[in-house]
Amino acid sequence: MIDWLYSLPETLVLVMGAVIMAGAILALPSLVHRLPYLRTSNENNDFVLRMQATLFTMTSLVLAFTLVEAESNFRKVDSLIATEASQINRLDRLLSRYGDDSTAELRQHLLAYAKAIVDDEWPAMLRDERSSKIRATLGPLSRGIFAIEPRPGRETTIYAEILRSFDSIVESRDARLNAVTLALPKPYWQVVLFAVLMLLFITSTMQRSTFRAYVLSAQMAVMGAFIGFVFIMDQPFKGQTAVDADPLRRAIVLMENRDR
């Protein structure tokens, strides 16, 4: 529902989070103080100050834990792409070493497969679609590999490695497609939202002064910026710092230059 935010500059997302939280803490006290039994006094204010400090610390810890999870997901996806690129390059290297003329055509199919991932499947998977070009390149590659009849000795050893590499490539592709929807579970965001709302409410019950309003707005701006940062890192394939196909592009260059 709010995925359109990923189309915005990430700096703007951080600023939006900070401004929203700072604006909320400046506007909410005038509303909260009108509610029955929520008028402040010196006695209540001391209690609210202690509660606000505790709640701010707990909310910060929840955000920190959430950020660690988001960062872990991002690194996991980044590692998946790098591994897939390495496996494609390894298979091309093995086919090159096999020394049979029949593998030259298979290398062309493998190169076409790698290019199809970058040019066709990558944009399609971000739209939650499937690529027809992948089937057109992966099918001949698969049939060609299984049609190889190695001679005993060196070819048999290399062919066993070729089969393992091809299986790893197929598994890596499945893992990449499954990772497109990788994101923090909704309960994470529900807990963060509840904690932030309670923090804003408790903070709004304090006695107001100009100095206190400025300090609290700065505090909430920091909180809002952290929430924006977690949002940016939440979905690894979206946003300006999203995981991209650069490792695959580098593998393609290596494959094209291997026999030069």
Is 241 a residue whose pLDDT tops 90? Answer: no
Q: Which two tokens stand for residue 88?
A: 């494609």
Is 30 a residue whose pLDDT tops 90? Answer: no
Task: Quote the pLDDT of residue 5.
Answer: 84
Are 5 and 231 a contacting pair, CB within 8 Å? yes
Helix axes 42-98, 210-234, angle to 10 degrees: 20
- Read off the pTM: 0.83
Q: What is the pLDDT of residues 65-112, one digit of tens each?
A: 888 989 999 999 999 999 999 999 999 999 988 877 778 889 999 999
Distance CA 64, CA 161 (A): 43
Distance CA 54, CA 244 (A): 40
Q: What is the pLDDT of residues 198-213, one digit of tens each?
A: 999 888 888 878 888 8
- Please report, for residues 24, 26, 111, 173, 220, the alpha-carbon distance to residue 197 in angstroms, rounded to integers and kept in the order given: 10, 14, 52, 41, 11
Over residues 40-54, mean pLDDT? 80
Q: How many CA atoms lie within 13 A of 39 on its CB side?
A: 3
DSSP state of 128: T
Average pLDDT value for the chain: 88
Whose CA is closest to 25, among 193, 195, 212? 212
Q: Which two tokens stand for residue 100?
A: 């049979």
Count of residues making up the chain? 260
Of residues 38 and 117, the one with the higher pLDDT is 117
- Please report, for residues 20, 110, 224, 229, 246, the alpha-carbon distance to residue 12 in angstroms, rounded to integers and kept in the order given: 12, 41, 12, 11, 25
